[in-house]
Homo-oligomer: A and B are copies of this chain.
């Protein structure tokens, strides 16, 4: 097979570096006139064809959407990505994803990376550390410079951009109300520390649901963990300790990993689910679906959230003439998915 002439082969043939060849073909002033001519003549002689896509891309918008998320080992975020991918595809956009690993510096770096010309705009969910630091300059600067940004899930109210949220309070109420309707009276919650907005709002929803039927909130039945995306041994031990010997008949958790961990300790204590203790979890992922018993969950509809975020971003990108800075906050409805971890409503 005849080998296609590449930059590499030209470089080898003329005994210069690949970068010199590449620059010479782009007529860069960094390369001497003499070398440039030599390289261009050689390329022409052997009918060298540069990567057309690369050239055409330089002359138009990237048609690429960037996503920055805290974590990828997290079913919810992967479903949001799926939604963004779907909508992007329908509108002929590419998607690239970067991870902050819940780290502030990494989030800033990723933003610079995506804002430097490789994307037209981006969709972001804040890292845990960014929320703790309460420092959002990297975001507001990008927005000031005209970069369209859509935030979802882990957001901050004061940043001027489009946002996609679920109503965490209402979602939690939905879950806790279901426990109440199926006969639970002593309902515990496993949630996160308050600086994580979703944890705070879901805890609020839990309290409101109880109060609305006249159940007094018992602080002893609230466990706040400093964990969100992954559960370390310390957090596991705290869940175990929290449940031990507690007189409860229902547990509401703000994510499914808290739920399956609680379920395990409940079963180890020879209690049955849902007869002795019922469980409802926020977030509908693989664990909830495949666990035995399968878990009743409040679904966040991540895919729909991703679709909505992409839709808002694409709208901004395709209507740049509408210069009025109007921002939308879209709410995605949660819904209850009833499975085996709760009793039937009578």
Contact partner, A116, options B57, B110, B261, Cβ 8 Å? B57
| A98 interfacial by beta-carbon distance below 8 Å | yes
Of the 9-residue stretches A33-41, A140-148, A162-170, A238-246, which lies at the interface with chain B?
Answer: A140-148
Contact with B along A43-81 (1 / 0, CB 8 A): 000000001011001100100100000001101001101
Contact partner, A113, options B6, B78, B94, Cβ 8 Å? B94
Residue of B nearest to A263 (CB): B292
Question: CA A107 – CA B276 in complex, angstroms?
Answer: 50
| A234 interfacial by beta-carbon distance below 8 Å | no
Contacting pair B146 A7 (CB below 8 A): yes
Contacting pair A320 B17 (CB below 8 A): yes
Contacting pair A85 B101 (CB below 8 A): yes
Question: CA A213 – CA B67 in complex, angstroms?
Answer: 51
Contacting pair B54 A117 (CB below 8 A): yes
Say how far A241's CB is from chain B's closest CB, in angstroms. 19
Residue of B nearest to A230 (CB): B286
Question: CA A307 – CA B319 in complex, angstroms?
Answer: 42
Contacting pair B85 A78 (CB below 8 A): no
Contact with B along A84-119 (1 / 0, CB 8 A): 010001000011111101000010011011011110
Contacting pair B73 A73 (CB below 8 A): no
Contacting pair A320 B18 (CB below 8 A): yes
Given contacts A263-B292, A290-B291, 10 further A-B contacts (CB under 8 A): A18-B146, A54-B116, A57-B116, A64-B113, A72-B81, A73-B82, A81-B99, A94-B110, A95-B98, A286-B287
